[in-house]
């Protein structure tokens, strides 16, 4: 199967993708228009953030794509498939959908889980609507995804369906060292509820591989969706993800991110609160070491009245790793009584680590509450000395301080999410393979975390704009 180098992608490749998937002319034209925009845009559109961007760490001469990739299952994916046999789930290896498990009782209730190619054929009206909600002019890599996506998942949750079991999406880059561009779409109709866990992996590779994702989520009236992403890719991989949620009246969108792997992770999350009473939360934990880079953007756009939004991000950085957190609260003219909070806090464990936080506010109306907070700090030597007097070595003392730093954030999550993230932190701290396994350690963490409670961030009630 021929491969295409990122630096040389062009209109001919679009024609090949469209022909291979037997796509309609409107989609081919959509791809070509997006490619034209991709060519014109810089890696970072905003001049304010340009000097901080590490997007050039992705090597366009080394990242390659193919119409089809090797679907050999890595061992850790086999283990996860066995553990999730009773749950609705999808396993994606490279560009190939290896398996979709959709229990018959859920299928009969109208739940749809399928590949994006099947969705384009069978649910074209819904896919077309989601494509129209994405503006490729806002981001170079959004335009790239629009032009060249060749894989992805479509999830449709019908009106009134409350899912008791979590939907699991297991995605791994292929062992043939090719990269993947995925377009994922999730639609929750009125009065439904679901939780989706996405696990991202990459096998060890001698060259750069990239998982480039564009995710559209539509949350309709009185619907609640949880999207949990656990990124545990090999540290030679690249992970770019652009996400957009449109949240209707009294809808709730809850994002949870645990970012641990890859050489470079670039996540951009836009929440559009378009219905009265809409709510969005974005809770993120980043743990970097060696020479990893994390570039996180989280925006809250309040369009309708009485909407609420909250972004809470915390980074833990070792060695020479670095993070960039940037975000904007934008409250439009009609969004009276909106409440919004944006925070980014980092702790540096080594002198070579670096972090920048750049939150902002844009307010176009009155009678709203909005604030942001940011901090970057090193561990206090006195704290380490105190713990050392309690017979703890430096590593164990640092780990206890990190757990305390993350505790207020993790308690805002469900106990399952807390356990998964704690498990991955432990794995990375001691050098264990980064993957979720239902072993005795995870079972122990689940039992511990189930007994915990939630608490409020002390900064959240101190509004800068009121």
Is the Cβ–Cβ distance between 378 and 393 less than 8 Å? Answer: no
Q: What are the domain boundaries of the chain?
A: 3-379
pLDDT in tens, 369-413: 999 999 999 988 888 888 888 888 988 888 889 888 888 887 778
For residue 168, what pLDDT is reported?
96
Q: Which tops the pLDDT comparison, 327 or 71?
A: 327
Lowest model confidence (mean pLDDT) among 101-110, 246-255, 293-302, 377-386:
377-386
Task: Identify the band that residue 212 occupies on the pLDDT scale cut at 50, 70 and 90.
Answer: very high
Rounded to an integer, the average pLDDT of 87-110 is: 94
Predicted TM-score of the model (pTM)? 0.92
Do the beta carbons of residue 66 and residue 1 sit within 8 Å? Answer: yes
Residue with tokens 């709730």: 252
pLDDT band at 53 (very low <50, low <70, confident <90, very high): confident
Overall size of the chain counted in residues: 466
Q: Which residues are within 8 A (CB) of 418 and not within 5 positions of it... i.e. 6 or more apart?
A: 410, 411, 445, 449, 452
Q: Are 406 and 395 in contact (CB under 8 A)?
A: no
The sheet carrying 112-115 orders its strands as 112-115, 153-157, 180-188, 209-219, 237-247, 264-273, 293-302, 322-331, 354-363
Question: Among 46-55, 101-110, 247-256, 290-299, which stretch is predicted with the lowest mean pLDDT?
Answer: 46-55
- pLDDT tens digit string along 266-316? 999 999 999 999 999 999 999 999 999 999 999 999 999 999 999 999 999
Mean pLDDT along residues 446-463: 65
Kindly report the average pLDDT of the chain as a whole number: 91
- Does residue 454 have a pLDDT over 90? no
Per-residue pLDDT tens over the stretch 455-466 = 555 555 566 666
pLDDT value for 459: 58
- Asked if pLDDT for residue 134 goes beyond 60, the answer is yes
pLDDT above 90 covers a percentage of the chain that reads 68
- pLDDT reported for residue 381: 84
What does the pLDDT read at residue 463? 60
238, 267, 295, 304 from 55: Cα distances, Å:
10, 11, 9, 34
């Amino acid at each position: 199967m021929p491969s295409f180098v990122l630096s040389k992608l062009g209109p001919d490749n679009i024609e090949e993708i469209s022909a291979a998937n037997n796509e309609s002319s409107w989609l081919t034209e959509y791809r070509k228009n997006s490619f034209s925009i991709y060519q014109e845009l810089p890696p970072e559109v905003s001049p304010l953030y340009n000097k901080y961007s590490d997007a050039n760490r992705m090597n366009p001469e080394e990242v390659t794509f193919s119409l089809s990739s090797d679907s050999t299952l890595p061992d850790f994916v086999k283990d996860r498939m066995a553990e999730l046999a009773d749950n609705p789930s999808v396993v994606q290896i490279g560009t190939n959908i290896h398996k979709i498990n959709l229990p018959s009782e859920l299928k009969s209730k109208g739940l749809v889980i399928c590949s994006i190619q099947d969705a384009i054929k069978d649910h074209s009206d819904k896919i077309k609507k989601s494509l129209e909600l994405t503006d490729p002019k806002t981001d170079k890599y959004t335009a790239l995804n629009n032009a060249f996506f060749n894989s992805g998942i479509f999830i449709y949750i019908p009106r009134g369906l409350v899912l008791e079991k979590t939907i699991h999406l297991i995605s791994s880059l292929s062992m043939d060292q090719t990269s993947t561009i995925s377009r994922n779409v999730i639609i929750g109709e009125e009065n439904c509820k679901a939780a989706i866990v996405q696990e991202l992996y990459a096998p060890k590779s001698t060259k750069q591989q990239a998982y480039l994702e564009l995710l559209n989520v539509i949350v309709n009236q009185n619907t609640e969706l949880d999207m949990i992403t656990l990124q545990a890719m090999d540290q030679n991989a690249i992970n770019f993800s652009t996400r957009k949620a449109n949240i209707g009246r009294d809808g709730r969108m809850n994002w949870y991110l645990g970012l641990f792997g890859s050489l470079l992770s670039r996540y951009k999350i836009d929440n559009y609160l378009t219905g009265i009473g809409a709510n969005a939360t974005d809770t993120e934990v980043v743990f970097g070491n060696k020479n990893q880079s994390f570039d996180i953007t989280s925006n809250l756009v309040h369009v309708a009245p009485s909407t609420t939004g909250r972004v809470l991000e915390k980074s833990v950085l070792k060695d020479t790793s670095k993070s960039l957190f940037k975000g904007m609260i934008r409250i439009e003219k009609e969004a009276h009584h909106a409440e919004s909070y944006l925070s980014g806090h980092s702790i540096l464990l080594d002198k070579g680590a670096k972090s920048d936080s750049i939150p902002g506010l844009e307010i176009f109306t009155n009678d709203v509450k909005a604030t942001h907070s940011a901090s970057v700090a090193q561990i206090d030597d006195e704290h380490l000395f105190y713990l050392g007097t309690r017979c703890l070595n430096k590593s164990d003392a640092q780990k206890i301080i990190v757990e305390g730093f993350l505790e207020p954030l993790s308690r805002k999550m469900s106990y399952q999410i807390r356990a998964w993230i704690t498990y991955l932190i432990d794995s990375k701290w001691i050098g264990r393979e980064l993957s979720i396994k239902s072993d005795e350690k995870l079972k122990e963490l689940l039992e511990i975390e189930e007994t915990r409670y939630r608490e409020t961030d002390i900064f959240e009630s101190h509004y800068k704009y009121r």
